[in-house]
Amino acid sequence: MNKRALITGITGQDGAYLAKLLLKKGYTVYGLHARRASDTLWRLRELDILDRVSLLEGDLTDLSSVIRSMHASEADEVYNLGAQSFVATSWMQPVLTGYVTGLGAVNMLEALRLTNPSARFYQASTSEMFGLVQSPVQSESTPFYPRSPYGAAKLYAHWMTVNYRESFGIHASSGILFNHESPLRGIEFVTRKVTDAVARIKLGKEKQLRLGNIDAKRDWGYADDYVQAMWLMLQQATPDDYVIATGRTTTVREMCQIAFDYVGLDYEKFVVVDPKYFRPAEVDILLGDPRKAKTNLNWEAHTTLEQLIKMMVDADLRRVDRGE
């Protein structure tokens, strides 16, 4: 294809899978890399693509470095996946979340408008924007009601993406992605917390798993499926916003049962509900309607929750057995 892509958040779960997909399609891939942690590159190494992407040092909160990354990459497509994306942390760091997750997206949009307004832009929106859901199933027309600083910051970024599309004619699309997981998920997220604990309990390293509200329901899919939808959005003649989901909702309790059953254990003997992990404002249920993505993008989720959880448990069993 000989296209060039710039990915913010390239060292995250979605960024790594998206980079691998674009490399497979013949893209030259650049990633904006904010040096905030000791080892943020392990996912790129895990997928064996670290030496195939070009990392550009910069930060979403610094417009000057974002503009430099646009000049350096000469990107045809820009995927803004970078964010402070852990919901629980957003209550502890609401201002940082607003800067990185909200204003960071505007910095990317403004840099694109100033340097290459013909480039296509993808914004990683989220089902957390629906929050206190206004309908049993959430589609592109469902009103938003975020219930966390993270959801509110993402909603600002979402509407600014719409604004730049309508005000400046930028080919800017938002993917309203429901929960999507993988073996590359951060340990702080509930699915990975569960599968890591299952591995450690199975191998005798731990004795219990402490969780918050295990009756919350989520629509969980596989991240590697979902990055396909991101790319498809930027291949369309007309930019738009799309719900990306499986159309199935499952409680955290049921997800735990799937994971423990897989290794022959009874989850009720190991899972402890700890009020310490309750959120200040809970999102009780999320269930996406992906019909527009199916119709317009010919996209649908292919990996079931059972397949996904087994994949994650297997990966964590290997990691724990290696002493990681």
Q: Of 317, 200, 304, 201, nearest to 255 (Cα)? A: 304
Go through 120-156 and write b for each residue having 16 or more CB atoms within 10 A of its CB, e for each that does not. bbbbbbbbbbbbebeeebbbeebebebbbbbbbbbbb
Q: Which of 11, 28, 101, 126 is catalytic?
A: 126
Query: By CB neighbour count within 10 A (0-12 exposed, 13-18 middle, 19+ buried), where does 294 fall?
Result: middle
The three-point CA angle 210-275-146 to 5° equals 105
Annotation says 27 is catalytic: no
Q: Of 255, 252, 249, nearest to 306 (Cα)? A: 255
Query: Rounded to an integer, what distance in angstroms lies between the CA atom of residue 97 and that of residue 150?
Result: 6
| CA within 13 Å, CB half, 311 | 15
42: helix, strand or coil: helix
Query: Rounded to an integer, what distance in angstroms lies between the CA atom of residue 125 and that of residue 64?
Result: 24
Annotation says 304 is catalytic: no
Residue type, 281: A
Query: Would you put residue 264 in left (φ > 0), alpha (ψ -120 to 50) or beta?
Result: left
Q: Which of 17, 27, 30, 150 is catalytic?
A: 150
Q: Which of 11, 17, 97, 128 is catalytic?
A: 128
Query: Rounded to an integer, what distance in angstroms lies between the CA atom of residue 205 and that of residue 149?
Result: 35
Quote the distance between the C-alpha of residue 179 and its chain's center: 7
Query: Rounded to an integer, what distance in angstroms lies between the CA atom of residue 311 and that of residue 104?
Result: 33
Query: By CB neighbour count within 10 A (0-12 exposed, 13-18 middle, 19+ buried), where does 1 fall?
Result: exposed
Annotation says 128 is catalytic: yes
Query: What residues are annotated to the active site?
Result: 126, 128, 150
